[in-house]
Structure 1
Amino acid sequence: MKRFLIGAAVVAICLLGLRYAVYYGGFYLDLHPEASIEVNVRTDGKNILVRNEKGEFEKFIVRGVDLPSSIAGHFATDYAVDEDTWLRWFGMIQDMGANTVRAYTIYDDSFYNAFYEFNKNNNTPLYLLQGLQVSDYANSSGNDAYGAEFYAALKEDSIDIIDVLHGRKNIFLNRMKGSGIYRKDVSDWVLGYVVGNEWEPGTIAYTDNNAKRPSSYSGTYFQTVDDSTVFEAMLAKIMDEMVIYESSKYKVQKLMSFQNDPENDPFVYEPLYARQLGKFSHVNAEHLIPTEQLKSGYFAAYRLFEFCPDFSEYLVQDQDPGFKAMLDGLDKETYCQGYTQLLSEYHTMPVVITSYGFSSSRGTDTEKGPLTEKEQGRRLAEVYNEIVESGCSGALIASWQDEWGRRTWNTSYAVDIQNTDLWHDIQTDGQGYGLLSFEPGETESICCVDGDIAEWTEEDRVLEQDGISLSAKYDERCLYLLIGQEGLSRDSELYIPLDITTKSGSMKSDSHGLKFERGADFLLCIHGEDKSRLLVQARYESLRENYQLQITGEDPFVYFPDTDADSFLPIRMILQNHKLVAEDVSDDELLASKRYDTFETGRLVYGNGNPSDSTYNSLADFCYGENIVEVRLPWALLNFSNPSVMAVHDDYYENYGVEWFRIKEIWLGAGTAGQKEPIAMEALRLKGWGDKPVFHERLKQSYDIVKESWEK
């Protein structure tokens, strides 16, 4: 009996060890090395082919969306989306006409469980492009691409994801990536793999200049050409080992690719312009050659964005045979002036645009200004058609859902970047790229700016005096105001002072002939559909302290406004600078070219802000009704760094930058033009929502526009 128990224990330990080796370590024995490789998706020239129900291969054009693992109230790396939500989203995505989704990295098992459930009895399944990415730290660190946190992490994930997709993996405590018990085999619906997401050009250049690293690779499924780079050899090695692993263990092959973009594409710019663009790294998919052993195929994957307006004018004309003819034939009337056409003609393989998009946020960082949801949808549909017509094998819209946690370069300085997921900052361009919006409110918004007072109650009233009433309330997106006055019309002039911080503020505005009971930090001016705007007191203007040097060339600390300065200024955002200069410019012209332009984001847009109304304008900030006007003021426009705890900007010139502190109230008033006595102000008590934002989903107008286009 004792021997039996010992033997049983040994067997149990061996089984547990084998289970650990298989599901945690990826251990396997190839017992059938001569077995044929199954291929359900492959390439043929510049086309992608997918096997249909009849077993025949047919041309496949990618129509899809990037699918981040994010939801309101959480960062993407929290992997907080549950299985039911994924399943519901898959249905809406397919109803839109999409046939493909893209995952950026290894997600939680809930994603793959839902993907399996959605596809298992579906005659028209969704396909998956599975991504792999390294951490932002590894991508931007001082190490090259063979560093432990870059290559080793990428190599480990590249093997893990294959087991994940075949339902034979356990992952726990997976830093910055998903985890779980993966038992659903979704491999039948995987188009292929995209290695990388956004390569840092500096890391590529540093890697390529490391003479100790190999600049060539010759493997079973991939090899490099003679003039390949170190970084390209690294990519060839990663992709080759992925195919080896999946082919030998699971006897299948999928398409392979790596992510690229205009900053790292193969094209060479004239030296003067390359320096100005920061274009010093090149990765060329043509330098990685698949061998005859690869039965599936290889395609080029690109992120698409406006890298350099009129880019073709600055390229070296004779960098490759026939390149000049390609440039001469570009249709420059398309988005990015024919860039996708050049990609398609340059590459000998299929080209897929794995990410392109437009934001419907209120904020912007381009001189073109923000887009409405309708304009977003039209641009998405138009550009998709241009991409396919240019010869590419399809594209994926970035992204399916808005991401509250995302940051944009021209607003990051003004917010608490550790908590951007807890509120919807519509001043941040990066938070509005989705087709699905997360709207504050459990089932509906507390206020739609549409001129209808049905949402307002007496409890919202802040003050009533001299024939003017002012009501206020707020949610995770905006502060909302309702101003009422008998006989109010579009010709009326109303002024609403707001006292946000005790650190500064003016008791008057000489330019408007107004006085206030308290030091005002902002002045809301309501004067018809075209002249209404929010102004900021000079001391509390965040752009001046943070970007005046880039905008005007002046140091903001040589002279700065007094805490009680009585000037109120337009609120602006800094924009991208795409200006390039030639060799013969003067010093003054060169200096001027380095200046950044701005956009007056404090100017209010008139319209109906109710999504259920046929005249809905997603950018609407105010709307008149009978004797009333409704207004929304985004939190970031009022210098809130984190409204979830009601944190606002501290004094910039005492702190040499943006610091913040919490407040419990703001003071509001309401007056008219020519008012002699100071405008009385009353307190609105504030209480944040902490880490529990309330929201519901809404499909944007852009969803319906893309759906209509793709159904055609």
Structure 2
Amino acid sequence: MKRFMLINTVIFFLILGVKSGLIRKISNYDTIEYFTKVEGKEILINKNNKWNEIKITGINMNPGKPGAFPGDSFISNEEYLRWFSYIKDMNVNCIRIQNIMPEEFYEALEQFNNEKEEPLYILQGIYFNEVYLKDGYNPQTKDMKKKFKDYIEAVVNIVHGESYNRVNLNLFESYKTNVSKYVIGYTVGIEWQAHDLIYSEIMNDKSPYEGEYFYTSENASSFESFLAEAGDYVAQYEAKNYGEQRLITFVGSSSLHIKKSTSLSNGSTIILEQDEKDNIKSFIDVENIKTTEELKTGIFVSYNIYPSVSTLLMYEGDSGLFFSDINNYHTIPVVISEYGIPSSRLATDFISDTSKGYINETEQAQALVDTYNAIKKSGCAGSIIAEWGDSWFRSAWNTKDRIILDKSAYWSDTQTYSQSFGLMAFEPGNEESVSYPDNSNNEWKEEDILSSKPEVSLSMKSDEKYLYFMVNMKDGFNPLSEDIYIDLDVTPNSGATKSTQYDLQFDGQADFIIHVSDVESSKVLVHEYYNTHNFLEQEKQLQIRPDIINHTSDMDEFSEIMIYTRPKTYVEALGGFVEKQSTETGRLIHGNGNPTISEFNSISDFYIGEDYVEVRIPWALLNFMDPSTKQIHDDYYDTFDITPISIKGIYAGVTVKENNDTINRIDSKLYKWNQWTKPTYHERLKKSYYLLKEELSKASN
């Protein structure tokens, strides 16, 4: 009896496990189904039992939004459906996702595609956890391979609507929606960094791989064999468990194609040469990964290429030549899986004119269209824009040490270029921003006045992106003869009580001066003691020799605000280093910042009206690490680092000068704002969305 009860209990839990997805029934299939395949340099798709070429026209999407990091899963079904509609209207046919998305994404995709003759397809990423690489793990060890294969199983199960998933981090997601009919392929792995590849090559022996679906050439590196083995496991697992195959792609290294060239001005082409004498390869060459006849679908190579100045240096800025050379090198289809241009106040290496510094939304739009056409002309099998929405959570190499990374999703940092690659902007405010520098100051109310005199007043506001100022002058403002100086006391650790340079006297300590004169030469200046850039320039030296510090907390000196725009970079084509570059990021841009106006300039900092001046200053420009919790940079020369300190608010005063003589002064007064844990935001489609929509419509006709 006991034995009978035990057997029945085991059977019960086995059935429960299968139904709940904790245990999978393993099946074998006599025939393998597939609806995409590679033929030569083309990708084909089967519709109504006919194979036709498909040019992948895609966009990258992640599950992050204001107030949420990608792993937070806060995006609703309604939001996904709205975004899918916008994307489909652009004539985009594919969404690329780099990792497992929240369950709501797959549910919304099925709901959106239901009964559509031309659905939105997805290119599903199988992510390799970069934390392991940062922690120094060798990805080719038995344990790391097992973790990666477990993740492969999870991804394949999820797209087939199976909840069996022992490695997925979203433990409370059920993943019951089968979207496999929309999955055209899998991206296996990530874009691998050169230093990780070198480390892996050193730690592992070079050995060709031979599997059921994949093998490698004799020239393959150990890491290319590792990728072939991973791709082989994807094909094996899906065929065995679901009787299906899909396209598989790996992300190649664009550095493979940046080789020594002769002068381009005489019409010569780039020489794509591979140094096989070098056994320590720092790049991935997907040409070394081959497939057997058992893989009916085939493979293509993906490239993430952002046409920055450094990337295109040896091509004299000709991205078309770069894309053509990449495509001509390969015997398999090439898809540019990421390309993007930021619409950013600080565009760093994406602009050659460092004195200009920015790329506005109009310029972003035209650059994206030009890049799309260059890829199309090159003969590549497709291109995928990066990305759908601006990503507040992102950091960048030149700003990540200046902010609190764990708080980055709660405010929009216009100084971080990587946050603004999207075609859709997330702007502060539930329906519109609290203020725009434009030809109207109607949004400013009496309660916004911080301090005033009969002749002049200072009003202030703030939101998740900017600190706003409005100086109203009873008799009007003449930028040809008058100057406005707004002095700000941000940190209690330092500040000047005067500026001999600008002949200014302050009633408190000033850390920043916003100088508005005319449309060309207005700028923000920083007290030299609180100058982040100059501190970073000498940080290491001062840590060793603190006795040579010549800064004092009350020194009478204000400086231009500079920031690095390009690190010191080794350029293989030139056989040497390109020196690091900086730009004056404190220079203010005049223009109309209202997106409803035809003259809209997305990176506008200030606007001069008839009797007022509106200014908006990015929080990070004033050394804020996180405005949502009122944390700023602490004393550099005390900590010898960039660390946070909390403040209660900002003191602001105004001086108005005419022909260098002071005619009005408003003493400093404290401006305070409420901290926030949930940012407000609204969506706004950028000009790049509409221009690309127009261009993609031409291509589809």
For normalisation by structure 2, the TM-score amounts to 0.90
Counterpart in 1 of 2:266?
none
For the pair 1:298 / 2:299, whether they are aligned, the reply is yes
Q: Sort the Cα spacing of 1:427 and 1:582 in 2 relative to 1 into closer, same or farther, 3 A.
A: closer
Residues 557 and 47 of structure 1, relative CA distance in 2, 3 Å threshold: farther
Say which SS state the counterpart of residue 447 (structure 2) adopts: helix
Task: Look up the SS of the partner of 1:418 in the other structure.
Answer: helix
- The equivalences for 1:531-542 within 5 A come to 531-542=521-532
Decide whether aligned partners of structure 1 residues 379 and 221 sit closer, same or farther in structure 2, where only a CA change above 3 A counts: same
- 1:452 CA displacement: 1.1
CA distance in 2, matches of 1:538, 1:507: 13
Q: Deviation of residue 178 (structure 1)?
A: 7.7
Output aligned runs, 1:37-186, within 5 Å. 37-52=32-47, 54-147=48-141, 150-171=144-165, 174-175=168-169, 180-186=173-179
**Secondary structure of the residue that 2:406 maps to in structure 1?**
coil
Change (3 A) 1:308 1:620: closer
% identical equivalent positions:
32
Instruction: Determine whether 1:384 maps to 2:372.
Output: yes
Alignment of 1:311-460 (within 5 A): 334-335=318-319, 338-366=321-349, 368=352, 369-460=357-448
Alignment of 1:257 with 2:241, yes or no, is: no
Paired residue for 1:622, among 595, 598, 606? 606
Q: CA deviation at 1:463?
A: 1.0
**CA apart distance, 1:243:** 0.6
SS at match of 1:203: helix
CA shift, 1:578, in A, is: 5.9
Aligned length: 673
Distance (whole Å) between structure 2 residues aligned to residue 558 and residue 642 of structure 1 = 31
1:650-665 to 2 correspondence within 5 Å? Answer: 650-665=634-649
CA distance 1:488–1:383, change in 2 (3 Å): same
Q: What letter corresponds to residue 59 of structure 1 in structure 2?
A: E
Alpha-carbon distance in structure 1 between the residues aligned to 2:452 and 2:686: 37
Q: How does 1:168-247 map to 2 (within 5 A)?
A: 168-171=162-165, 174-175=168-169, 180-211=173-204, 213=205, 215-247=207-239
Counterpart residue identity of residue 349, structure 1:
I
Tell me what 1:284 maps to. 285
Pair 1:545 & 2:532 matched: no
Q: Using a 3 Å threshold, how does the CA distance of structure 1 residues 310 and 11 change in structure 2: closer, same or farther? A: closer
Residue 283 (structure 1) shift: 1.6
Please state whether the residue corresponding to 2:668 is helix, strand or coil: strand
Task: Determine if contact 1:50/1:60 at 8 Å carries over to the other structure.
Answer: yes
Please report how far the alpha carbon of residue 19 of structure 1 lies from its aligned counterpart in structure 2 after TM superposition.
Answer: 3.7
**Between 688-697 and 184-193, the greater mean CA deviation after superposition:** 688-697
Q: Which amino acid aligns with 2:479?
A: R
Instruction: Show the counterpart of 1:681.
Output: 667
Measure, in 1, the Cα distance between the counterparts of 2:142 and 2:401. 31
Aligned CA distance change for structure 1 residues 253 and 476 (closer, same or farther; 3 Å): same
- Does the CA-based 8 Å contact 2:66-2:392 persist in structure 1? yes
Root mean square deviation of aligned Cα = 2.9
CA contact 2:460–2:671 (8 Å) conserved in 1: no
- Tell me the CA shift for residue 284 of structure 1: 1.3
Q: Which amino acid aligns with 2:412?
A: H
Q: 2:511 aligns with which of 521, 544, 554?
A: 521
Query: Partners in 1 of 2:601 and 2:547 — Cα distance?
Result: 40
Equivalent of residue 552 in structure 2, options 562, 581, 589:
562
Residue pair 1:215, 1:232 contacting (<8 A) in 2 also: no
| Alpha-carbon distance between aligned partners in 2 of 1:72 and 1:8, rounded to the nearest angstrom | 51
Distance in 1, Cα, partners of 2:449 & 2:281:
59
Deviations 1:31-79 (A, max 9, x none): xx42x22121111100011112x32111111111110111111111222
SS of structure 2 residue aligned to 1:413: helix
Describe the superposition over 1:559-613 as per-residue Cα deviations: whole angstroms up to 9, x where unpaired.
Answer: 342111111111111121466589999xxxx9xx664221111111011000011
Which of the numbers 626, 632, 649 marks the counterpart of 2:633?
649
Structure 2 Cα separation of the partners of residues 171 and 17 of structure 1: 12
> Larger deviation: 78-87 or 694-703?
78-87
Pair 332,487 (structure 1): closer, same or farther in 2 beyond 3 Å: closer
Distance 2:393 2:313 in 1: 35
Asked whether the equivalents of residues 101 and 129 of structure 1 are also in contact (C-alpha less than 8 Å), the reply is: yes
Distance 1:229 1:307 in 2: 28
Distance 1:581 1:190, change over 3 A: closer
Structure 2: how far apart are the matches of 1:602 and 1:5? 77
Residue by residue over 1:619-651, the C-alpha shift from the partner in whole angstroms, topping out at 9 and shown as x without a partner, is 111112220111001100111110001111111
SS at match of 2:642: coil
The more displaced of 416-425 and 82-91 is 82-91
Q: Whole-Å Cα distance in 2 between the matches of residues 208 and 693 of structure 1?
A: 45
Matched, 1:573 2:563: yes
Q: CA deviation at 1:418?
A: 1.5
Q: Using the TM superposition, give the Cα deviation of residue 311 of structure 1 relative to its aligned residue in structure 2, in angstroms.
A: 6.6
Whichever residue aligns with residue 670 of structure 1, its letter is V
The one-character-per-residue Cα deviations of 1:286-328 (angstroms, maximum 9, x if unpaired) are: 1111111111111011110347848796xxxxxxxxxxxxxxx
- Output the amino acid matched with 2:392: W
Q: Distance in 2 between matches of 1:165 and 1:602?
A: 48
1:550 Cα deviation from its structure 2 partner? 9.8
Aligned partners of 1:49 and 1:60 also within 8 Å: yes
Contiguous gaps of at least 5 residues in structure 2: 262-273
1:605 counterpart (576, 584, 589): 589
Kept after mapping to 1: 8 A contact 2:539/2:640: no
CA distance in 2, matches of 1:185, 1:645: 42
Query: What SS is found at the alignment partner of 1:93?
Result: helix
Give deviations 1:650-674, integer Å, cap 9, x for gaps.
1110110111211112111111224
Q: Is the 8 A contact 1:451 1:630 kept in 2?
A: no
